Chain A
Amino acid sequence: MSTDILVQIYVFVLAIFVGFEVITKVPPTLHTPLMSGSNAISGITIVGAIIAAGSTEIRVATLFGDLNITAILGFVAIVFATVNVVGGFMVTDRMLKMFKR
């Protein structure tokens, strides 16, 4: 196994532990904003989507002629992930402002 892959696995395992430590401290009253906020964070896939939609000139033969499948998939992925990111952070902000003493 290459060191690259090992490092990725290290990062993955350690990040899960950090996540457990940090999120256990979130009180039940904030569990809905935690979900919508973490939802927005999972929109990080947008990073991969941008690379897919913005990077290739490769064209692939399909039934509909030569198409850049990677770019098309990347574009749809950007739309999905941006809804997640923008919608997620905005609705979380809207909710958190309601919690008052």
Chain B
Amino acid sequence: MLQSVFIPVLYLVSAVLFILGLRQLSHPRTAPKGNRTAALAMLIAIVSTLLVKEVISFHLVIAGVVVGGFIGAVAARRVEMTAMPQLVAMFNGLGGGASLLVASAEFYRLGSQIPDFTFSAIANSIFIGGITFTGSLVAFSKLQGLMRGAPVTFSGQHVVNGAITLSVIVLAILAIQGSMEMPLVVLIIIGLSLLLGYLFVIPIGGADMPVVISLLNSFSGLAAATTGFVLVNNSLIISGSLVGASGIILTNIMCKGMNRTIWNVLFTAVGTDDDGGTVTEADTYQAVKSYEPEDTVVIFENARQIIIVPGYGMAVAQAQQMVAELGKVLEAKGVQVKYGIHPVAGRMPGHMNVLLAEANVPYDKLFDLDDINPEFEETEVALIIGANDVVNPAARYDTSSPLFGMPILDVDKSQTVFVLKRSMNPGFAGVENELFFNDNTIMLFGDAKETVSKLVSELK
């Protein structure tokens, strides 16, 4: 009774709570409760599993939970909000790694009596889990600066990746047919999938990271779902599918934000090193208008509305607190302050929103692309902090630009555009931005945090 009815019912309760928890994430007010509901669902699933009759020894389980729980708690407490993309990449990788390990463990546990369907599920789970594991480690290294962010390419890359995928499928079929030893095939598939994860992420540049992280997030869920097929456990299938769906939705939104297909992101290396630049510096500096912060006070003070557009540069300079401070100072002077956030600003979906929330900017001042774009025409000042490609007007009409067709924030339609930038170097797509040369654009060169803090003290 306990085994056949009670435990499946508990798993069902847990699945329902996961869905309810995710539903509560649809509003910032109910979201904290939603997250706790999902955590409760996880607790129920874990406790139910401890009651499963096959689970007879608890030493390793307790040891594993203590070690993992400690590492997880420390990471969650210590991480800087600017480093969230790295943390999420790492967590994605661990999820994929766990699926690979569980599928392999189940393979050794079942010994020689493996049904065909279970073996193909094991092969699948190892394959997706392995790609997720090493792919996420590469994404982590790029984001953390342990590896160059620029794409690493070699000729025939796609052919190699395709050949690896094909060989995994062929090997799995040969093993099921009995023409190859299963244990050997499992080891080869583990090796190939780990290699493929690495090869698949190294050619992808820094600015495309939001897509990659979303995709790997989806993979980590799908890996868990396939592990559910291995273990004949609906709880894993349901939860894994929810995460898989979530990742697919985010991937899709990120691709739309860049007007590129997922295939284009994965198979076309776009980007340069952070210090890349092709034009002779002196000429470009002469062609733009550049002010010192103190020269801008009048323009700010006379504005009715200003829209702040943050980008990855704000995160790099850790300028979010200072930006929020600037917003408050301006509001105290009666200026309406709004924030316009591009879907792919930063290194992961929602990156800018979290940084501004950390700096106590109320979430009802953060606007999406579609909601804020009609407002620029009636706005006196657009203040761009560390964003570049997402405000490049060439995306609208220049068919030769790699950015062509990408939805952009229409900052150039406001009366005055201030651009905070370290130098004239192009953005991650490596494209010159004509916005900087417009008559209504004024450059404020320097570190974003320092410039904003100077603005704050001038305005106070």
Chain A: residues with CB nearer than 8 A to chain B?
1-2, 4-5, 8, 11-12, 15-20, 22-56, 58, 60, 69-71, 73-101
Contact = CB atoms under 8 A, between A and B. Distances in A.
Given A8-B234, A77-B101, A83-B91, A37 B249 contact: no
A83 B94 contact: yes
A84 B98 contact: yes
B368 to A, nearest CB: 5
A87 to B, nearest CB: 3
Contacts of A41: 18, 22, 38, 41-42, 221, 239, 242-243
A64 B32 CA distance: 48
A37 B52 CA distance: 26
B231 A51 contact: yes
Nearest to A74: B105
Contacts of B61: 50, 53-54, 78
Interface in B310-357: 341, 343, 348-351, 353-354, 357
A20 B354 contact: no
Interface stretch (B64-72, B137-145, B407-415): B64-72
Contact of A23 (B22, B28, B31): B22
Contacts of A100: 357, 360, 362-363
Given A51-B54, A98-B358, A39 B217 contact: yes
A51 B49 CA distance: 7
Contact of B232 (A4, A78, A84, A85): A4
A87 B109 contact: no
B397 interface: no
Contacts of B88: 32, 35-36, 39
A25 B23 contact: yes
B214 interface: yes
Contacts of A89: 35-36, 38-39, 42
B243 A12 contact: no
Interface string B55-89: 11110110111011101110111010100100110
B451 interface: no
Interface string B30-53: 011011101101100110011010
Contacts of A36: 84, 87-88, 91
Contacts of A29: 28, 341, 350, 353, 357, 363, 366
A91 B68 contact: no
Interface of B: 15, 18-19, 21-23, 25-28, 31-32, 34-36, 38-39, 41-42, 45-46, 49-50, 52, 54-58, 60-61, 63-65, 67-69, 71-73, 75-77, 79, 81, 84, 87-88, 91-92, 94-95, 97-99, 101-102, 104-106, 108-109, 111, 117, 213-214, 217, 220-221, 223-225, 227-250, 253, 341, 343, 348-351, 353-354, 357-358, 360, 362-364, 366, 368
A81 B86 CA distance: 17
Given A73-B105, A86-B72, A30 B353 contact: yes
A75 B63 contact: yes
Q: Please give me the 9 A-B residue pairs with the lowest Cβ-Cβ distance, nearest first.
A: A82-B68, A19-B245, A78-B64, A87-B72, A31-B350, A86-B72, A31-B349, A90-B76, A15-B241
Q: Is the interface of A mostly helix, strand, loop or mixed?
A: helix
A15 B75 CA distance: 30
B72 A82 contact: yes
A60 to B, nearest CB: 6
Contacts, number: 378
Given A22-B19, A24-B249, A78-B65, A85 B349 contact: no
A30 B25 contact: yes
A41 B240 CA distance: 8
22 contacts: A15-B15, A18-B241, A29-B357, A30-B28, A31-B349, A31-B350, A34-B349, A36-B84, A38-B221, A39-B243, A40-B39, A41-B41, A42-B224, A47-B46, A48-B228, A50-B55, A52-B105, A54-B60, A80-B97, A84-B72, A87-B76, A88-B72
Nearest to A28: B368
Nearest to B32: A96
Given A19-B241, A54-B60, A88-B76, 14 more contacts: A18-B245, A26-B25, A37-B25, A37-B38, A38-B246, A39-B217, A41-B42, A45-B240, A47-B49, A50-B49, A50-B55, A79-B68, A90-B73, A93-B32
Given A58-B111, A79-B67, A81-B95, A96 B42 contact: no
A34 B390 CA distance: 23
Given A33-B350, A84-B98, A26 B26 contact: yes
B25 A33 contact: yes
Contacts of B81: 95
